[in-house]
Structures are given as structure tokens and as C-alpha cells.
Amino acid sequence: MKDQQPLVFRYLYKTRSWQSLQISKIILIVFVFSAISGVLVACVLTYCTQSFILQPQLENTKPDQVLGVIIGQLVFLTFTYQVIACGWGFIYIYSIENRKVHTTQLNNLRLQNSLKDAQLASLSNQLNPHFLFNSLNNIRFVIYENQKKADDMITNLAQLLRYSLESSQKEKVRLCTELEIIEKFIEIQSIQLEHRLIFEVKVEAHLKKYLMPPMLLQLLVENAIKHGIEQLPEGGNVLVNINEKNNELVFMVTNDKPAENLKFRSDKTTKIGLVNIKQRLELLYDALASIKVINQSDTFKVIITLPKEV
């Protein structure tokens, strides 16, 4: 019967929904169950063992002390089993609750990862319409003027769209791949802007192996052109400078911009894109990445710092 008590407790714990009760009520149940089962087990053990344990003791006991010996035996067995039952009950409840907490944590992690993937996909998808609209708008300007240039723009656009679709399923790509896409994008923009756009990338070859979020640099260059160079009748410069600092990659995109309407230009029209970038960096790197904006009288600079990853 002693071996059956834990099974009975487990059965009642699961079938009576005790696991949904408050911990104080569960503790009370353990004590009550231990007390009742302790008495039952003590009575059964006393009855079953009286012939070879209790009887020899009673033979040398005075008649008026027999009841005291029996009661003492019952109390000892009851207390002993209650302690054992309580200990087992608390260990069992702890293991069940610990397993429940572990399962909940795993489910929360899965949910957080799913939410993170959904947020990253959403933020990435917000970049694509801006990129597509600007590219198609560029083609519209030259399609009737120079078919050869228009054909080159369409070819580059197809490659850009393919990269955009493929990279939306990836968290990170190599810097060399992103730079190739930047080159295609600049070829499209240069056909429209011609001599008004002066674009330059400065990066050491060994840095191109590192990983970065896809379309991140492309968006910065796109914003630099749209909100800076296109607003200047004489055009201007866009400089992408990529360096390393300890275990970090530092991306710096600098563009010329009109001196007038300084605050409106930098704070309003580029806000959504920079907010998206900041959110993506937080989701991918937590506090390991940063974005900084430097708005000067005639230049606009965005500095992004990422941890090195291969």
C-alpha cells in the first residue's frame, strides 16, 4: 500500500486539476493528503507486522501498557510516513512546476522568434515599395528618349528586384553582395541624374566578407539621393565609407543637401526609413548595433555600427 500512495497522489493531482490551483492551496492539499495517507498506512503496517514485530514487544509488556505500545507504534509509523509523503509530494510538485515553467519559457522563446521574424519581414517589406517606385519612376524618364539606356535600367531593375525578394527571406547577407546591388542601383540613378550625381564607395577588400542586414545600405543610399542630391539643381556627392573599429563595422553614408528647410528635410521626410533601420537593428543585434545621425548645414550623415559577423 505504501507504494500505491504516490500513484494515488499523482492520479488525483492530474485528474482533479490541482496543478491549476494556487501554490498555497497545493501545499495545504499535500499536508492533508500526507496526514490521511499516513494514518492509513500506519494502521495497515501495524496490522500486517503485528505477528513478527509488535507481538514480541507485547509479550514482555504489562497489560496496562499494551495500548500505549500500540498507540506509540501507530504514531511513529504515521509521523514517519507523513514526513516521507510530504517530502515526496513537494519534490513531485516542484518537478512538475519546474517542467511547466521550462515549457512556458520555450513556448515564449518560440513566440518571440516568430514575432521577431514577422517584424523583420514587415520592416523589410516596407523598404521595397520605396525602392520599386523610385526605380520605375527613373525608367519612365528615359524609356522614350533612349531605348538602350532604358533596357539597361530594366535589366538592373530585374536584378535588384530578384535580390530584394530573395533577401527578404534572409536576416543577413555578405557586404560584397550588398555592394553589388548598390552598384546596380547607382547605375539606374546615374542615367537619370547624369553628371549631377557623384557617388563613391570606400571600403577595404577584407571587409567585404562580413555580414549585414540586406537592403540596409541600399536604403541609406536611396535616401541620400532622394532627399539630398535630387533637391540640389547642381547635384552633389554621396560618399559611402566602410571601416572597422575593433570588433565592429562602421558604415558612414554622407550626402550633400540643400541648406534651406534644414530641420524639415532631415526630420520629416527621412524619418520612416531611419526608424525602420533602427527597429531592424534592435531586432537583429539588440544593443550591439547603433545608428547615429549628424545633420550639418550642407551635409547629412548617417553612421551605423554593427558587430563583425562572418
pLDDT at 254: 97
Q: Read off the C-alpha cell for 87.
A: 517530502
pTM of the model: 0.62
Q: What is the pLDDT of residue 168?
A: 74
Which pLDDT score is estimated for 256? 95
Scored b (16 or more CB within 10 A) or e, 99-118 reads eeeeeeeeeeeeeeeeeeee
SS (H, E, C) the chain: CCCHHHHHHHHHHHHCCHHHCCHHHHHHHHHHHHHHHHHHHHHHHHHHHHHHHHHHHHHCCCHHHHHHHHHHHHHHHHHHHHHHHHHHHHHHHHHHHHHHHHHHHHHHHHHHHHHHHHHHHHHHHHHHHHHHHHHHHHHHHHCCCCHHHHHHHHHHHHHHHHHHHHHCCCCCEEHHHHHHHHHHHHHHHHHHHHHHEEEEEEECHHHHHCEECCCHHHHHHHHHHHHCHHHCCCCEEEEEEEEEECCEEEEEEEEECCCCCHHHHHHHHCHHHHHHHHHHHHHHHHHHCEEEEEECCCEEEEEEEEECCC
Which of the residues in the chain have pLDDT under 70? 1-24, 42, 45-70, 73-74, 77, 111-131, 134-135, 260-271
Measured CA to CA, the distance from residue 259 to residue 41 in angstroms comes to 91
Task: Tally the residues of the chain.
Answer: 310
Work out the end-to-end distance of the chain between its first and last CA atoms, rounded to an integer number of angstroms.
Answer: 63
Residues 6 or more apart from 193 whose CB is under 8 A from it? 225, 229, 230, 235
CA atoms of 93 and 282, how far apart (whole Å): 39
- Distance separating alpha carbons of residues 280 and 121, to the nearest angstrom: 10
Model pLDDT, residue 152: 87
> Can you read off the three cell numbers belonging to residue 107?
513556448
Please name which of 117, 266, 141, 255 lies closest in space to residue 193, comparing C-alpha atoms.
141
Listed residue (249, 131, 237) closest to 184, CA to CA: 131
Domains of the chain, earliest start first: 4-109 (no CATH), 143-307 (3.30.565.10)
- How far is the CA of 9 from the CAs of 77, 83, 178, in angstroms? 19, 15, 62
Strands 197-203 and 236-245: parallel
Query: What pLDDT is attached to residue 61?
Result: 60
Contact (Cβ atoms closer than 8 angstroms) between residue 9 and residue 65: no
Q: Identify which of 215, 220, 217 has the alpha carbon closest to the alpha carbon of residue 128.
A: 215
pLDDT (0 to 100) of residue 113: 65
Contact between 166 and 124 under an 8 Å Cβ cutoff? The reply is no
Of 261, 259, 281, 263, which Cα lies nearest the Cα of 271? 263
Question: What's the grid cell of residue 243?
Answer: 571601416
**Inter-residue contact 294 to 303 (CB < 8 Å):** yes
